[in-house]
Amino acid sequence: QPDTPLQGRNVLVTAGGTVERIDPVRYITNDSSGKMGYAIAEAAKRLGANVTLVSGPSALPVPAGVERISVTSALDMYDKVMARFEKTDLVFKAAAVADYRPAEQREQKMKKSGETLTIELVKNPDILQALGEAKTRQFVVGFAAETERVDEYAQGKLLRKKCDLLVANDVSMQGAGFGTDTNVVRIFDAGGLVEAPPMMTKAAIAEHIVRLAASRQQMRQQ
């Protein structure tokens, strides 16, 4: 019997960082490599799902059989994710979405002038929060990178954003966080800490997270 617990399920994964334009040649972004999200997409595909990967700019290869939708800004990611949410069964929101974007995106390159320069930023929509509020049957998994008070912040995010599971990593730890091939995570649900597996490769952690989400989603349907 094939080991495909996600057979027939539609899985949406977001990955990578968003790019917030200042002008035609400048932007704000972050250190997200996309590795965790791409590993999630690959694991979900291997476990039988139809996988759509909404990704910020990334040099990573698209896992075989996965449909990638390339996005740049948080607003762009928001639109692409929302458009697909209705048909989705499980969402993994591994993207590092910029919290703010420049209030205006200039059409011409900004010129050098004064000794200081202020760029006004405005808040981006929180995509995970919007999904948490819009969800009906969807199983929603959020991610959080923290540098301190990991458990407290993670639990707060899970409750505020109404996700079913939240995967937190302490990016200040060796072998964890942006760019690395390994990760150390702590997985929460509304009741608190569910699991704190040891340091593993992102591929192994991805498979673990996807299996956990799949079995919980299945339990809920019974």
Catalytic residues: 30
Q: Is 87 annotated as a binding residue?
A: no
Q: How far is the CB of 64 from ligand C5P (least distance, A)?
A: 24
Sort strands 90-93 and 10-15 into parallel, antiparallel or unpaired.
Answer: parallel
Q: Is 157 annotated as a binding residue?
A: yes
Per-residue interface string for the shown chain with ligand C5P, residues 142-181, x marking contact by CB under 6 A? xxx------------x------------------------
**Residue 19 binds ligand C5P, judged by CB under 6 A:** no
The single residue among 93, 101, 186, 202 that binds ligand C5P, judged by CB under 6 A, is 93
Q: Give the binding range for ligand C5P (CB under 6 A) out of 60-68, 89-97, 188-196, 204-212.
A: 89-97
Q: How far is the CB of 5 from ligand C5P (least distance, A)?
A: 22
Residue 191, classed as helix, strand or coil, is coil
- Burial string for 20-59 (b: 16+ CB within 10 Å, else e) reads bbbbeeebbbbebbbbbbbbbbbbbbbbbbbbbbbbbebe
Q: How far is the CB of 127 from ligand C5P (least distance, A)?
A: 3
**Residue 35 binds ligand C5P, judged by CB under 6 A:** no
What count of residues does the chain have? Answer: 222
Q: Is 3 annotated as a binding residue?
A: no
Say which amino acid occupies 38.
Y
- What phi, psi does 207 have (nearest 5°)? -60, -40
**Residue 126 binds ligand C5P, judged by CB under 6 A:** yes
Per-residue interface string for the shown chain with ligand C5P, residues 64-83, x marking contact by CB under 6 A? ----------x---------
CB 86 within 8 A of CB 131: no
CB 72 within 8 A of CB 19: yes
How far is CA 154 from each of CA 167, 172, 186, 218, rounded to the nearest angstrom?
8, 15, 9, 24
In eight-state DSSP terms, residue 125 is P
Q: Closest CB to ligand C5P among 50 and 73? A: 73
Chain residues in the site for ligand C5P (CB under 6 A): 74, 93, 95, 97, 99, 124, 126-128, 142-144, 157
Annotated binding residues for CTP, written as ranges, equal 99, 109, 125-128, 143, 157, 161
